[in-house]
């Protein structure tokens, strides 16, 4: 890791749970991310975030949720349980709200009688002075308006209590039968015939009632007047959502209910909330979590996540809502990883680019916390990215190249040939395929030194030497300089050579031969540039590339040159010039005054003849070798040879 972490306290709390999930996943254990995210959110400073996690946790608390749940999102088999869970959550919250309101004003509320929902609602209405509201009809039960009591019992989710309350009102006998059928039905819906009769009754007599609670209860039980928002009794957004979710019709084919223009479908409610009302209506910029709650309650998970991700302060929460829901297979995802974050397909279904969301989030901390980024990338394993590659591999490749943390992430080879594992090892049984993929990415980007190290790490020695030979060939003749590319490559090559000699390699013999020849050529130029003439001449003679040793003909060396690979051939012009320069320097040395007085010149002359012969041979070789030498190289060779014969 480098510098200060890019994870704040909230992001760190989420990251810990992702880590625990991955550990469980790798051990073949089950782990409920939504449960642990919900627990972690208790400590978050923003209570509305915890409330939202409570909602998500409640929504998905469905027995036997199928692995590919998103395929059932348009089916009543999943829509109905989600609607039921949403209503139950809102009812539970409202019951707690009433209980808290009453307990805060016990003396005024006059709580008494048998403990239960009825007494709580009665006391709550007493606090609200509901009996003084004008226009209420059909009398009271224990001092409170019957329809108000029934409505709030339903609002708290206690339908049996609502039925018992209505049963105590003599003027509500006719409706009592409908309510009993509603309460006892499995899906909280009247039969088709009963619903038709109740809707007709509502239109004839109840629609004009001055009692807002009576109208609301009728519309709730009979799903009447679905366009009416009942603002008198549903003044809060949660009340409105509860009421509309209770009116939504999404029936199974065998339900006995034929589609009707009077029904409110889930898709109609979703369109109203997202498109007709939208962010402006719900003041989403000021109270974003309220809008997110509305979208989650209406099963618009993708739109909720996309909206929240646009607010920087809430992006972390958006990502982890997505992670939790995707873990259960509930999200509808885009087919292409290049899509926008939220797209609408030809069927009108909103789809989320989950991979883009997670990857975008990790950019906040991938450079400072690469290990944490890996944990998030593992969530994407198995998803198909560009060119059919696994998204996990693509992300790791990008992380490695950007962070330069090769050893930390992918591991490294030790001098004895053994491999020290990297951070990615815990996610893969065999990292060689991933490392080879990253190496290919580096090579494609022209990062050849990185590619060499990566190919070496995955033991693709043929690729190692193929690339390294090309690199060495391009810098072999350059003067050695600390921290230069030549210096780096030479150190890398020497380390590889030592290991390959000691531990072996899998590269073809021809590649290895060229590799060691190029290393010797670099050694020659090291000596040459440092003016170590004798050592340089010794190395070039041992290389046997040029006709410098007695008994070796030009023809033999030309024939040998024909067999050499391009990496060695490219070094020829500089090898010829350096060798000729060495011969000339040696020749000039023989013309200097002897350091030994009285020494005869005969020995020196023999040396000069040998040097002139070698120089002449180099000129002949340069003319015969099947390689186009640069014009200035030929000119310089001829010039140096001429200086030795003048």
Q: Would you state the structure tokens that stand for residue 290, as one six-digit string?
A: 């309220």
Instruction: Let me know: does 66 contact 329? Beta carbons within 8 Å.
Output: yes
Instruction: Let me know: does 216 contact 230? Beta carbons within 8 Å.
Output: yes
Exposure on the CB side of residue 207, measured as CA atoms within 13 A = 13
pLDDT surpasses 50 at 1: no
Instruction: Let me know: does 411 contact 404? Beta carbons within 8 Å.
Output: no
pLDDT surpasses 80 at 230: yes
Q: What is the rounded average pLDDT of the residues 249-254?
A: 69
Q: What is the rounded average pLDDT of the residues 184-203?
A: 95
Instruction: Let me know: does 222 contact 206? Beta carbons within 8 Å.
Output: no
Of 244 and 429, the structure prediction assigns the larger pLDDT to 244
Q: Which residues contact 253 (CB under 8 A, 6 or more apart)?
A: none
pLDDT surpasses 50 at 119: yes
* φ/ψ (deg, to 5) at 384: -90, 130
Residue 29 has a pLDDT of 93
Which three-class secondary structure state does DSSP give residue 363?
Answer: coil
* Residue where the block lists tokens 């046997």: 544
Residue 398 has a pLDDT of 92
Give the model's confidence band at 207: pLDDT under 50 very low, under 70 low, under 90 confident, else very high: very high
Percent of the chain with pLDDT over 90: 81
Residue 259 has a pLDDT of 66
Of 129 and 468, the structure prediction assigns the larger pLDDT to 468
Residue 496 has a pLDDT of 95
Q: What is the rounded average pLDDT of the residues 223-246?
A: 96
Radius of gyration of the chain (CA): 41
Q: Would you state the structure tokens that stand for residue 103, as one six-digit string?
A: 């307990």
Q: Which of 158-172, 238-252, 256-270, 337-351 has the lowest mean pLDDT?
A: 256-270
Q: What is the rounded average pLDDT of the residues 393-400?
A: 93
b/e sequence 476-496, b meaning 16+ C-beta within 10 Å:
bbeeeeeeeebeebbebbeeb
Residue 597 has a pLDDT of 47
Residue 589 has a pLDDT of 86
Q: What is the rounded average pLDDT of the residues 26-44?
A: 95
pLDDT surpasses 90 at 452: yes
What sign has the CA pseudo-torsion 456, 460, 464, 467? Answer: negative
Distance of CA 253 to the CA centre of its chain: 40
Residue 601 has a pLDDT of 61
pLDDT surpasses 60 at 459: yes
pLDDT surpasses 50 at 494: yes
Percent of the chain with pLDDT over 70: 95
Q: Would you state the structure tokens that stand for residue 494, as one six-digit string?
A: 């020497």
Numbers of helices and strands, H then E, in the chain: 32, 6
Q: What is the rounded average pLDDT of the residues 207-230?
A: 96
Residue 391 has a pLDDT of 94
Which three-class secondary structure state does DSSP give residue 413?
Answer: strand
Residue 104 has a pLDDT of 84
For residue range 126-140, list pLDDT tens digits in order: 888 887 889 999 999
3-class DSSP string for 478-510: CCCCCCCHHHHHHHHHHHHHHHHHHHCCCCCHH
- Average pLDDT, whole number, for the chain? 92
For residue range 331-380, list pLDDT tens digits in order: 999 988 889 999 999 989 999 999 999 999 999 999 999 999 999 999 99
For residue range 81-117, list pLDDT tens digits in order: 999 999 999 999 999 999 999 988 776 766 666 679 9
How far is 611 from 641, CA to CA, in rounded Å?
10
Virtual torsion, Cα 459, 460, 465, 466, nearest 10 deg: -170
Q: What is the rounded average pLDDT of the residues 184-191?
A: 93
Give the model's confidence band at 392: pLDDT under 50 very low, under 70 low, under 90 confident, else very high: very high
Nearest C-alpha neighbor of 378 from the set 65, 24, 41, 70: 24
Q: Residue 140 has what DSSP assignment?
A: E
pLDDT surpasses 90 at 388: no
Residue 247 has a pLDDT of 97
Residue 112 has a pLDDT of 64
Q: What is the rounded average pLDDT of the residues 616-636?
A: 92
Residue 598 has a pLDDT of 43
Q: What is the rounded average pLDDT of the residues 52-60?
A: 98
User: What angle is formed at CA 231 by the lines to CA 225 and CA 237, rounded to 5 degrees?
Assistant: 105
Residue 46 has a pLDDT of 95
Query: Considering the entire predicted model, what is its pTM?
Result: 0.85
Give the model's confidence band at 270: pLDDT under 50 very low, under 70 low, under 90 confident, else very high: very high
């Amino acid at each position: 890791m480098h510098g200060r972490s890019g994870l704040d306290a909230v992001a760190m709390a989420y990251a810990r749970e992702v880590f625990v999930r991955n550990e469980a996943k790798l051990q073949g254990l089950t782990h409920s991310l939504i449960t642990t995210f919900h627990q972690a959110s208790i400590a978050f400073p923003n209570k509305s975030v915890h409330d939202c996690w409570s909602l998500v946790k409640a929504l998905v608390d469905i027995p036997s949720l199928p692995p590919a749940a998103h395929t059932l999102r348009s089916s009543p088999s999943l829509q109905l349980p989600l609607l039921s869970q949403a209503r139950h959550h809102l009812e539970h919250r409202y019951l707690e709200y009433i209980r808290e309101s009453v307990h805060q004003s016990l003396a005024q509320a006059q709580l008494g009688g048998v403990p239960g929902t009825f007494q709580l609602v009665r006391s709550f209405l007493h606090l609200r002075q509901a009996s003084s509201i004008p226009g209420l009809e059909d009398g009271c039960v224990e001092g409170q308006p019957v329809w108000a009591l029934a409505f709030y019992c339903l609002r708290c989710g206690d339908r049996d209590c609502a039925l018992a309350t209505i049963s105590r009102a003599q003027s509500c006998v006719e409706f009592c039968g409908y309510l009993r059928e509603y309460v006892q039905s499995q899906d909280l819906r009247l039969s088709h015939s009963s619903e038709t009769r109740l809707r007709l009754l509502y239109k004839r007599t109840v629609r004009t009632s001055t009692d807002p609670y009576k109208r609301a209860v009728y519309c709730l039980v009979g799903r009447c007047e679905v366009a009416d928002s009942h603002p008198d009794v549903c003044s809060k957004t949660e009340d409105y959502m509860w009421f509309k979710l209770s009116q939504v019709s999404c029936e199974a084919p065998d339900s006995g209910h034929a589609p009707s223009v009077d029904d409110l479908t889930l898709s109609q409610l979703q369109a109203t909330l997202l498109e007709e009302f939208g962010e402006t209506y719900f003041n989403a910029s000021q109270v974003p979590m309220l809008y997110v709650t509305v979208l989650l309650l209406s099963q618009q998970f993708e739109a909720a996540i996309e909206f929240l991700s646009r607010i920087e302060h809430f992006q972390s929460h958006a990502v982890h809502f997505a992670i939790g829901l995707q873990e259960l297979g509930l999200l509808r995802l885009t087919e292409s990883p290049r899509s926008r974050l939220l797209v609408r397909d030809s069927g009108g279904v909103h789809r989320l680019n989950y991979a883009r969301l997670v990857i975008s989030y990790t950019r906040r901390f991938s450079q400072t916390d690469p290990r944490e980024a890996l944990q998030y990338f593992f969530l994407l394993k198995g998803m198909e990215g560009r060119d059919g590659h696994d998204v996990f591999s693509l992300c790791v490749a990008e992380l490695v190249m950007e962070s330069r943390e090769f050893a930390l992430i992918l591991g490294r080879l030790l001098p004895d040939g053994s491999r020290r594992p990297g951070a990615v090892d815990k996610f893969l049984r065999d990292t060689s395929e991933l490392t080879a993929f990253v190496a290919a990415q580096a090579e494609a980007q022209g990062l050849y030194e990185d590619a060499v190290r990566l190919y070496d790490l995955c033991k693709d020695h043929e690729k190692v030497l193929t690339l390294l030979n090309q690199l060495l060939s391009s810098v072999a003749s350059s003067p050695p300089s600390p921290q230069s590319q030549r210096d780096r490559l030479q150190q890398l090559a020497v380390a590889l050579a030592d290991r390959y000699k000691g531990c072996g390699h899998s590269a073809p013999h021809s590649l290895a031969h060229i590799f060691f020849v190029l290393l010797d050529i670099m050694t020659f130029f090291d000596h040459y540039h440092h003016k170590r003439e004798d050592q340089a001449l010794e190395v070039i003679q041992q290389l046997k590339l040029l006709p410098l040793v007695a008994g070796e003909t030009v023809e033999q060396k030309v024939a040998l040159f024909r067999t050499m690979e391009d990496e060695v051939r490219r070094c020829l012009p500089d090898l010829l010039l350096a060798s000729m320069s060495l011969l000339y320097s040696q020749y000039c040395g023989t013309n200097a005054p002897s350091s030994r007085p009285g020494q005869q010149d005969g020995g020196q002359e023999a040396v000069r003849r040998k040097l002139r012969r070698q120089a002449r041979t180099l000129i002949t070789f340069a003319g015969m070798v099947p390689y186009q030498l640069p014009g200035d190289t030929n000119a310089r060779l001829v010039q140096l040879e001429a200086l030795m014969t003048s």
